[in-house]
Chains A and B, each alone.
Chain A
């Protein structure tokens, strides 16, 4: 009896470990060549954006004539551990990393907000994100973000578009199977902003999500919209504990 209960206990541990280990970054689905491109700073094209971000970081802007570095320090190392917490609740509003950068720009620097997917915003967000490279994603459920998180889950599970598909139908139910010759990933946003070879550019998670929405012929969530932030929050919460790879390379 005792042996049985011990066995049951171990099976329980093993199965919970298995479901945890079964989570997979889409890095694992890439060819060795593309993995090498991401791992080697000398060939990862996103490094150019990181360097651009570093110089923008020190550049004074706006009416206040201050730079990011004026408050957060020259090196950006103080931003270690920041990107893994976003999207997060700031003053009872859900804010993405890009949203936070634009908040700082408009409120602290007195400058104009940077356009989504502009080179400057991508450069700054990748510079901040890469400081947290290797750290586990730290988005947890809290009383403050509970509503947003459940909205995010709702978007994830909601069928949308003319093809009437939800995110979950592909990325949860059919992850690992094939769509048009490529393996369907589990949709863990572990490497954003990514250098996507198809885009020939760096791009944000929001751009990637809009890709899928246009793929199912749905009306895309707007850049910077609350819906987008809620969906991002849910995805980051779903990927909690997985190490951040930013800046990633994806085919």
Chain B
């Protein structure tokens, strides 16, 4: 069963060539650790985001691996160099077929 959720990207839409831009990517996810139990004592299976990948015009510029220690609704803040105008694609992959994709456009002058 595949599922997805809301995501949000905060980054500049315009930048000078060669400048460093900050990108904030947040995804709505419970990040269930797999270490918790229900009130009835049954273990709650793990359900987390495993990977986050950022591609800049098709080139991978940032990748992160997430683990059960990460809190719910994880926000990833990173930076990259504004090399050329184009599209940044963000992708989250996780347990139980979780997948979310978001895109953002940047104009480099």
Contact = CB atoms under 8 A, between A and B. Distances in A.
Are A and B interaction partners?
yes
A43 B26 CA distance: 7
B75 A51 contact: no
A40 B75 CA distance: 13
Consensus secondary structure, chain B interface: loop
Contact of B72 (A40, A42, A47, A200): A200
B13 interface: no
Contact of A200 (B8, B24, B71): B71
B6 A48 contact: yes
A42 B24 contact: yes
Contacts of B24: 42-43
B10 interface: yes
Interface residues of A, number: 11
Contacts of B5: 48
A201 interface: yes
A45 interface: yes
Nearest to A42: B10
B28 interface: yes
Contacts of B73: 45, 48, 200
Nearest to B72: A200
Interface in B47-80: 71-73, 75
A56 to B, nearest CB: 13
Given A42-B24, A42-B26, A47 B8 contact: yes
Nearest to A45: B73
Interface of B: 5-6, 8-10, 24, 26, 28, 30-31, 71-73, 75
Closest 3 CB pairs of A and B: A42-B10, A200-B72, A48-B28
17 contacts: A40-B10, A42-B10, A42-B24, A42-B26, A43-B10, A43-B24, A45-B26, A45-B72, A45-B73, A45-B75, A48-B5, A48-B73, A52-B6, A197-B71, A200-B30, A200-B31, A200-B71
